[in-house]
Structure 1
Amino acid sequence: MPPRSKARSVLRHWRLYAAISPFYLIFLAFGLIPVGFSLYLSFHRWDGLGSMEFAGLAQYRYLLSDTQFWNALGNTLVIWAMATFPMLFLALLVAVMINSAKRLTSFYRFAFFVPNVTSVVAVAIVFGSVFSTNFGLVNAVLQGLGLDPVAWLQTPWSIKVSIAALMSWQWVGYNAIIFLAGLQTIPGELYEAARVDGASPVQTFFRITVPLMRPVILFTLVVSTITGLQSFSEPQVLLSTTSNTSTFAGGPDNAGQTMVLYFFQQSFDNNDFGYGAAVAWGIFLVVVIFSIVNWRLVARREK
């Protein structure tokens, strides 16, 4: 279409463009411009008050050699793995049980979905009490079984277990609802044929349900990867009272410090907004790489 015709078409339908303009204006003001400014800021040194000082690629070079960032990356990947795989397996089991229920299915959906819509801060405070060393419910159960209590929020691996448990509890119901939608697309005749052939429930689950649910499982894996690599509120609130140096350090020895937690520490605890922006773009690159890997995995399995 010639440029004049395009201009006339826009003028002719200006009411329609005006109707959809609020979304794009809000996205421009609160999405695109901040993203562009963060990229610009990552090439400068700025404390938030004074003038900016151009740094070029110096902050990105420092990021590649920053041992604390690599520690945060390692913590994030370990917590993500410990939370995601058990969470997806439990979500699939919950979805299968809800799908096979004959009564109160709506209640079960609501009950399992409630943790996902509950405030993360409130949930983290509750889990902080549950995993408390002296008065926690988990240690009370361990002592009731004759086992020694564990300092859940004081040692590196127990910190990761606590954060992973919190994230799993929060997202099991959300993924269970997605799995439930996928289960309801599987023909019931397949399960009836399996029962006629003498297949046990375990065999039916692993030979019918899991293979037919593979696209949904891979979708939830991709989404869980993106959200898990950006975990912030869970370790920040859960470990806020056990940090050695600051509110955002991530617990003793930074054992629970995630990438986003490290970004927040650099930007708002150290007031180093330029390096914080560089850390944010490093996080973005990590999330993109993992998303591409998962997308390749999905494409390969579908073929």
Structure 2
Amino acid sequence: MATVTPKTKQPFRVRLDRFQRRYAPYLFISPFFILFAVFGLFPIFFSGYLSFHSWNPIQGLGSMKFIGFENYAFTFDDPWFWRSLGNTVWIALASGLPQHIVAVPLAFALVMGVRALRHQLTAIYFLPYITSAVAVSLVFLTIFGTQFGVLNQLLAYLAQAPWSAWLFGGLQDSLPIQWLSQRSFIKPAIATVVFWQYFGFNVVLYTAGLATIPREYYEAAQIDGAGSGQSFRFITLPLLRPMVFFAVTLTIIGNLQLFDQPFILTDGRGGTGQSGMTTAMYLYRTGFEWLEMGTAAAIAWLLFIIIGVLTAIHFFFFGRNSMEARE
């Protein structure tokens, strides 16, 4: 007859040690996931839910009313949405393209030409990026001032030079220029600020990308008689394509969400004729000035879809070739 051995209860310290080894790692990382769920996932899902409702936050959650796709239909029919989107695309292109056109050759010059000062110069170029966007915008707000701005003062000084009539034409008659009040200058002024702040970030990215290219390629090209221009064209650009794709993707995502710079430079109103109002500004004003939270949520999701589509198109035309170039 088989005997049943009674199961002995393990000591508390053994059970505690087993519990710690099994569950302690999850307890240590749980604060991150809790915070991410509260401040990351919940706002995303709630904004999606809110985009199908009409809600005035002052009246409380009880005033929320389901209206289907009316917020999306209203946004599509709103000319101010399309104007803000056009302004955003204009500023994104005017500030984004020059960033990469200038940053790539400058990074090449830093890596190949002035290696002794590469780290110091890279830090200087990177400094505007780590500076607060509000602080940068306030500095440029004084630079673009109409009466006492540095830029108008410089142009007034140049207009008095003997050769100014030949070089600048009727510059004296155009001064002072209202950089932030005149419709034709608002978007270029905003694009200038965005370019200045984020240009250094791309220099750092391309410098890091160039550091991964073996120097033997350049040495072999030099032995074959290739100059710096030929090395840049036939070695640097093809092998740098993955980093270019990555940097341009970040530019697309970031520039289509511009808010701080245009908000500060246009005093939160978008400037004359709303020429400087970006889609993010339009979203903010819809939700927090006009208290149309449902419409603001719909705008946010439409902006997310637009950014996703443009990023996917960018990957389809350039991303796959970039990955093949690295392989």
Q: What's the TM-score, normalizing by structure 1?
A: 0.89
Are 1:219 and 2:246 counterparts?
A: yes
Which residue number corresponds to residue 28 of structure 2? 19
SS at match of 1:13: helix
Which residue number corresponds to residue 210 of structure 2? 183
Return 262-271 or 142-151, whichever deviates more. Answer: 142-151
Are 1:145 and 2:158 counterparts?
A: yes
User: 1:197 Cα deviation (Å)?
Assistant: 3.8
User: 1:102 Cα deviation (Å)?
Assistant: 3.2
Matches of 2:52 and 2:185, distance apart in 1: 38
User: 1:300 Cα deviation (Å)?
Assistant: 3.7
Q: Deviations for 1:12-51, whole angstroms, at most 9, x for unmatched residues?
A: 7221211211111111100111111111111111111221
Q: 1:93-104 alignment to 2 at 5 Å?
A: 93-100=105-112, 101-104=114-117
Which residue number corresponds to residue 74 of structure 2? 62
User: 1:268 Cα deviation (Å)?
Assistant: 0.7
Identical amino acids, percent of aligned pairs: 36
Which residue number corresponds to residue 260 of structure 1? 280
User: 1:11 Cα deviation (Å)?
Assistant: 9.7
Which residue number corresponds to residue 43 of structure 2? 34
Which residue number corresponds to residue 282 of structure 1? 302
Taking a change above 3 Å as real, the CA distance of residues 53 and 87 of structure 1, as seen in their structure-2 partners, is same
User: 1:104 Cα deviation (Å)?
Assistant: 3.0
Matches of 2:142 and 2:225, distance apart in 1: 47
Q: Deviations for 1:47-90, whole angstroms, at most 9, x for unmatched residues?
A: 11221122111111111111000000000001000011101122
Q: 1:1-303 alignment to 2 at 5 Å?
A: 13-50=22-59, 51-100=63-112, 101-146=114-159, 147=168, 148=171, 149=175, 150-240=177-267, 248-302=268-322, 303=324
Matches of 2:229 and 2:178, distance apart in 1: 37
Matches of 2:184 and 2:106, distance apart in 1: 27
Q: Deviations for 1:220-263, whole angstroms, at most 9, x for unmatched residues?
A: 001110001000001001111xxxxxxx3311100011010000
User: 1:109 Cα deviation (Å)?
Assistant: 2.1
Return 174-183 or 92-101, whichever deviates more. Answer: 92-101
SS at match of 2:58: coil
User: 1:145 Cα deviation (Å)?
Assistant: 3.0
SS at match of 2:314: helix
* Residues 179, 216 of structure 1: 8 Å contact kept: yes
* Residues 63, 279 of structure 1: 8 Å contact kept: yes
Give the RMSD, CA atoms, in angstroms.
1.9
* Residues 242, 319 of structure 2: 8 Å contact kept: no
* Residues 72, 262 of structure 1: 8 Å contact kept: yes
Matches of 1:211 and 1:140, distance apart in 2: 44
Q: Which residue identity lines up with residue 161 of structure 1 in the other structure?
A: P
Taking a change above 3 Å as real, the CA distance of residues 131 and 192 of structure 1, as seen in their structure-2 partners, is same
Matches of 1:260 and 1:297, distance apart in 2: 27
Taking a change above 3 Å as real, the CA distance of residues 194 and 155 of structure 1, as seen in their structure-2 partners, is farther
* Residues 245, 319 of structure 2: 8 Å contact kept: no
Q: Which residue identity lines up with residue 271 of structure 1 in the other structure?
A: L
Q: What's the TM-score, normalizing by structure 2?
A: 0.83
Matches of 1:93 and 1:265, distance apart in 2: 40
Gaps of 5+ in 2: 1-17, 160-167
Taking a change above 3 Å as real, the CA distance of residues 40 and 104 of structure 1, as seen in their structure-2 partners, is same
Matches of 1:141 and 1:210, distance apart in 2: 38
Which residue number corresponds to residue 13 of structure 2? none
* Residues 180, 266 of structure 2: 8 Å contact kept: yes
User: 1:151 Cα deviation (Å)?
Assistant: 2.2
Matches of 1:217 and 1:170, distance apart in 2: 18
* Residues 249, 262 of structure 1: 8 Å contact kept: no
Gaps of 5+ in 1: 1-8, 241-247
